[in-house]
């Protein structure tokens, strides 16, 4: 087959896929883009709208509650992703050792990650319950806490408690990726290092970490993008409360569109959030390109 | 060959059957209900079953969602362009929004004029807006003050409180005697439940949500209500966990014998009296929620809900038939344990009152003084504003004056 003809066949074969992509991705995206410049509101008969230009975005920039939510969401993202990375790598190192029952433990590791977020959130709500939650029971029995307390009802702890629940659910993903990367680190490097008298600490920083950092950073960026648009775990655990202390940026998108029925400004909030994740996505792309060049 | 023809004929018949709804005998109605408070899922399912049995060819597909998701589900289903639900359960606070935005069908012509006098006025406010009727009231509900008779007796208190001040005093006695650590439990989570307790208190202080025709929350009854809430927290008579509780949490705490007083909807009376659900069965007292001293004898929040036909429904007649059945006096009298009927004469019917006389006595007072939340098409947003600001006071992040001034300001900016 001539190259030109080959190209044509390739495009022909790709057509169904491309049209599906356009239908499910491009169309809603363009629709959202258009909505963001209108004052469209959701009604029983669909949208009622008027073109209002940049007014929605001006409102968002002026919205101090939204700015606070950006800070909150960033806090959530940074804290949960970094904790997940540390925990994930530690667990991966452990599971990379030879020991009895390793396969079983490796299989068990996936469980939290395989759990639907909603189930995870409901489960942690029970653990944190102020009257009969197991966390309160544990902490009072070992003497760390004098009396049962309300973890999700206190603005000082609510956010961190949700972060803990999120870490428990998502660190296995990082652990799995780190584990896979660990297996590609050549064993003879370690043997040579031991011969040279390097201790475990040095071996980790000089051999292990450089060996897995590539895969790890990709996993990190992916998790960060996901964490930034977090919604479900908060919706179930705190609904944004107490006193808005756990209201993340995605809540604004949801509330504007479905609770206040302002599809137009909801779309503008959505685009703003997308632009912020876009920043992280570009970091991801740059990293992918660099890796590609290296290999 | 014969078999092939038979198969083809069957297929064709099926095709015709499906593509011409007029030929179809079976109509399936999609209905959305809520999971908590008032009629239980089991009761609602049983009612629908009876309806199906009486109306061959009509099927009802029931969906139950938590109250917190009900509004958004109804809106999203229609906004998405699908016809969504035929019958929707809606809260008393939504008709202004649903009517102006066209989510509900106007059913003024369908409601028999003779029914107007037979049903409580408070129930009608649930479905009336702009001089039209947007559904049929189904749940006539308000929050009552529940108390644990044993605990009051143990504390030497002879009668339940008649004012909010007395409630705090009695709770203090119970706390000081060490009978229970936190005597009162409320649903003050960042949710509509908080606004219900707050509204009840504003009503009990003879307050108002408007001043000179504008929404206002920074004077009189509003401030008195929020100050009272905060004070009971500061004095340690209100369970601090109330700030993360919804109604079901309140029921569980009260039923576990960990509170002497609780504010909750009708449904808690028979559930807290059910030994399978409760450790304090048989000890439940119920009175109308009190008022503030010198202002009102009792207070109540209008927490009623109605059933309506969604604008996109293709079977409005069948939907109305179902609604008529669900809201009929016969159906309501039969399931009067978790939610009381909308029909006035039911309250003198021994079949309804038997075994729950105390509840009926309280209802007769409360239903007459039901106080409504602000009526505005932007209610969901207004409610978010109030929830956030009141919670800030309850959590000690802002003073009552600052928070309620902020709420009033934000309400003035509602788009």
The pair of three-digit structure tokens given for residue B364, joined into one six-digit string: 């007769």
User: Is-contact A168 A113, C-beta < 8 A?
Assistant: no
Residues B264 and B367 grouped into a single domain = no
Instruction: State the pLDDT confidence band at B25, using cuts at 50, 70 and 90.
Output: low
Residue A28 lies in a domain: no
Instruction: Please state whether the peptide bond connecting residue A242 to the residue before it is cis, i.e. omega within 30 degrees of 0.
Output: yes
Same domain, B130 and B159: no
In this predicted structure, which of A138-142, B22-26, B274-278 has the lowest mean pLDDT?
B22-26
> How does A140-178 read in b/e, with b if 16+ C-beta sit within 10 Å?
eeeeeeeebbbbbbbbebbbebbbbbbbbbbbbbbbbbb
Read off the pLDDT of each residue in B88-95 and give the average, rounded to a whole number: 94
Q: What is the CATH classification number for the domain harbouring A264?
A: 1.10.3720.10
Q: Are strands B27-34 and B58-65 parallel, antiparallel or unpaired?
A: parallel
**What DSSP character marks residue B328?**
S
pLDDT at residue B12 greater than cutoff 60: no
Confidence of residue B81 (pLDDT cuts 50, 70, 90): low
- Report CA dihedral (B384, B385, B391, B397) to the nearest 10 degrees: 140
Per-residue pLDDT at A1: 57
B253 domain-assigned: yes
Residues B258 and B149 in one domain: yes
Would B19 be classed as within a structural domain?
no
**Residue B5: inside a domain:** no
The better pLDDT of the pair B24, A279 is held by A279
- Pull the structure tokens for residue B260: 């002497």
Task: Map tokens 């990379």 to a residue.
Answer: A96
Which residues on B lie below 8 Å from A239 (Cβ)? 68, 189-191
B237 lies in some domain:
yes
- Residue B192's domain comprises 143-301+378-412
Does a structural domain hold residue A49?
Answer: no
pLDDT over 70 at B176, yes or no: yes
The whole-number pLDDT of residue B355 equals 86
Token digits of residue B167: 């409630």
Convert the pLDDT of each residue in A230-282 to its tens digit: 999 999 999 888 999 999 999 999 999 888 988 899 999 999 999 998 888 88
Please give the residue range of the domain that contains residue A141. 64-294
**pLDDT tens digits for range B177-209:** 999 999 999 999 999 999 999 999 999 999 999
CATH of the domain at B221: 3.40.190.10
Is B81 in the same domain as B206?
A: no
Examine the pLDDT at B11 and tell me if it is beyond 50.
no
Percent of chain A with pLDDT over 70: 99
Do you know the residue count of chain B? 415
Per the domain annotation, does A241 fall within a domain? Answer: yes
Residue A41 lies in a domain: no
Cα A167 to Cα A160: distance, rounded to the nearest angstrom: 10
User: Where does residue B192 rank: exposed (0-12), middle (13-18), buried (19+ CB within 10 A)?
Assistant: buried
B388 contacts A244? CB cut-off 8 A:
yes
Are B227 and B327 members of one domain? no
Cβ contact, residue pair B397, A262, below 8 Å: no
Check: CB of residue B108 under 8 Å from CB of residue B129.
Answer: no
Indicate whether B4 belongs to any domain.
no
Indicate the range of A105-119, A166-180, B67-81 predicted with least confidence. Answer: B67-81
Domain co-membership, B94 together with B46: yes
pLDDT of residue B346 exceeding 50, the answer is yes
Averaged pLDDT, A83-88:
95
Q: Domain for residue A58, yes or no? A: no
- Residue of A64, A258, A269 for testing the chain B interface, max B β-carbons within 10 Å: A258
The distance of B250 to chain A (nearest Cα, Å) reads: 11
Which residue in A155, A246, A261, A262 has the most chain B C-beta atoms within 10 A of its own C-beta, making it the best mutation to test that interface? Answer: A261
Same domain, B171 and B290: yes
Give, rounded to a whole angstrom, the gap between the first and last alpha carbons of chain A: 31
Measured CA to CA, the distance from residue A256 to residue B229 in angstroms comes to 30
DSSP line for A125-154: HHHT-TTT-HHHHHHHHTTS-SS---SSSS
Same domain, B296 and B154: yes
For residues A108 and A284, which has the higher predicted lDDT (pLDDT)? A108
How far is Cα of residue B344 from the mean position of the Cα atoms in its chain?
19
Q: List, in sequence order, every residue forming a beta bridge with B290; answer none if it has no partner.
A: B298
Dist CA A270 CA A253 (whole Å): 5
Both tokens of B326, joined, read: 């669900």
Residues B285 and B346 reside in one and the same domain: no
The answer to whether residue B127 is domain-embedded is: yes
Separation of first and last alpha carbons in chain B: 69
Taking only the tens place, the pLDDT of each residue in A181-210 is 999 988 898 889 989 888 889 999 988 998
Is there a domain that residue B400 lies in? yes
pLDDT at residue number B82: 60
How many structural domains compose chain A? 1
Nearest CA in chain B to A148: B241
Average pLDDT over residues B282-306: 94
Domain count, chain B: 2
pLDDT of B246 > 70? The answer is: yes
CA–CA distance, B391 with B381 (Å, rounded to integer)? 15
User: Which of B341, B356, B371 is a domain's end point?
Assistant: B371
Interface ipTM above 0.95: no
Question: Crossing angle for the helix pair A117-127 and A134-141, nearest 10 degrees?
Answer: 40
Judgement on whether residues B99 and B63 belong to the same structural domain of the protein: yes
Q: How confident is the model at residue B16 (pLDDT cuts 50, 70, 90)?
A: very low
Distance from the B244 Cα atom to the nearest Cα atom in chain A, whole angstroms = 5
Residue A283 lies in a domain: yes
Q: Rounded to 10 degrees, what is the CA torsion of B213, B219, B225, B226?
A: 110
pLDDT value at position B68?
Answer: 87
Residue B24 above 60 pLDDT?
A: no
Cα dist. A260→A263, B32, B258 in Å? 9, 20, 38
Predicted TM-score (pTM) of the model is 0.85
């Amino acid at each position: 087959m001539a190259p030109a003809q080959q190209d044509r066949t390739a495009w022909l074969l790709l057509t169904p896929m491309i049209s599906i992509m356009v239908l499910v991705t491009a169309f809603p995206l363009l629709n959202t883009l258009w909505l963001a410049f209108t004052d469209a509101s959701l009604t029983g008969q669909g949208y009622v709208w008027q073109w209002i230009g940049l007014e929605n975005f001006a409102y968002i920039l002026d919205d101090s509650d939204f700015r606070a939510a950006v800070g909150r969401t960033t806090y959530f993202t940074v804290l949960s992703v970094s904790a997940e990375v540390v925990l994930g790598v530690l667990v991966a190192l452990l599971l990379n050792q030879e020991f009895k029952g390793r396969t079983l433990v490796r299989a068990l590791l996936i469980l939290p990650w395989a759990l639907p977020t909603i189930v995870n959130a409901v489960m942690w709500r029970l653990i944190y319950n102020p009257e009969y939650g197991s966390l309160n029971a544990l902490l009072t029995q070992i003497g760390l806490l004098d009396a049962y307390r309300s973890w999700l009802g206190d603005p000082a702890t609510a956010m961190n408690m949700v972060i803990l629940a999120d870490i428990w659910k998502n660190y296995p993903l990082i652990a799995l990726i780190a584990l896979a990367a660990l297996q590609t680190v050549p064993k003879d490097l370690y043997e040579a290092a031991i011969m040279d008298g390097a201790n475990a600490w040095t071996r980790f920083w000089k051999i292990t970490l450089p060996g897995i950092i590539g895969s790890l950073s990709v996993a990190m960026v992916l998790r960060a993008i996901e964490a930034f648009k977090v919604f479900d775990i908060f919706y179930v655990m705190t609904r944004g409360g107490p006193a808005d202390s756990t209201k993340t940026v995605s809540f604004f998108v949801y509330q504007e569109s479905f609770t206040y029925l302002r599809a137009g400004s909801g779309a503008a909030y959505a685009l703003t959030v997308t632009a912020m994740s876009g920043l992280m996505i570009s970091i991801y792309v740059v990293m992918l390109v660099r890796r590609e060049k290296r290999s | 060959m014969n078999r092939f023809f038979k198969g083809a004929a069957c297929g064709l018949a099926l095709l015709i059957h499906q593509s011409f709804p007029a030929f179809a005998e079976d109509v399936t109605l999609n209905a959305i209900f809520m999971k908590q408070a008032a009629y239980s899922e089991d009761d609602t399912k049983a009612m629908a079953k009876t309806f199906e049995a009486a109306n061959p060819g009509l099927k009802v597909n029931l969906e139950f969602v938590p109250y917190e998701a009900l509004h958004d589900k109804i809106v999203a289903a229609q906004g998405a362009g699908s016809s969504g639900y035929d019958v929707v359960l809606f809260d008393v606070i939504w008709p202004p929004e649903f009517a102006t935005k066209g989510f509900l069908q106007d059913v003024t012509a369908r409601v028999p004029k003779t029914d107007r006098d037979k049903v409580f006025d408070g129930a009608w406010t649930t479905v009336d807006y702009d001089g039209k009727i947007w559904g049929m009231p189904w749940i006539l509900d308000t929050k009552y003050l529940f108390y644990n008779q044993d605990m009051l007796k143990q504390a030497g208190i002879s009668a339940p409180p008649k004012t909010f001040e007395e409630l705090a005093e009695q709770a203090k006695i119970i706390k000081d005697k060490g009978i229970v650590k936190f005597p009162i439990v409320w649903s003050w989570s960042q949710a509509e439940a908080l606004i219900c307790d707050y509204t009840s208190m504003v009503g009990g202080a003879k307050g108002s949500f408007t001043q000179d025709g504008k929404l206002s929350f920074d004077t009189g009854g509003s401030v008195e209500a929020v100050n009272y809430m905060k004070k009971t927290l500061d004095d340690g008579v209100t369970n601090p966990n109330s700030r993360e509780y919804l109604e079901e949490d309140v029921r569980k705490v009260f039923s576990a014998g960990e509170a002497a007083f609780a504010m909750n909807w009708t449904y808690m009376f028979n559930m807290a009296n059910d030994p399978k659900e409760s450790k304090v069965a048989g000890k439940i007292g119920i009175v109308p929620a009190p008022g503030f001293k010198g202002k009102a004898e009792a207070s109540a929040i209008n927490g009623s809900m109605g059933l309506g036909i969604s604008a996109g429904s293709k079977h409005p007649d069948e939907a109305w038939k179902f609604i008529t059945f669900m809201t009929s006096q016969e159906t309501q009298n039969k399931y009067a344990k978790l939610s009381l009927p909308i029909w006035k004469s039911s309250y003198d019917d021994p079949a309804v009152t038997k075994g729950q006389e105390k509840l009926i006595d309280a209802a007769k007072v409360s239903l007459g003084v039901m106080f409504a939340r602000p009526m505005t098409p932007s209610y969901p947003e207004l409610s978010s504003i109030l929830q956030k600001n009141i919670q800030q006071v309850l959590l000690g992040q802002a003073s009552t004056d600052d928070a309620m001034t902020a709420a009033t300001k934000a309400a003035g900016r509602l788009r």
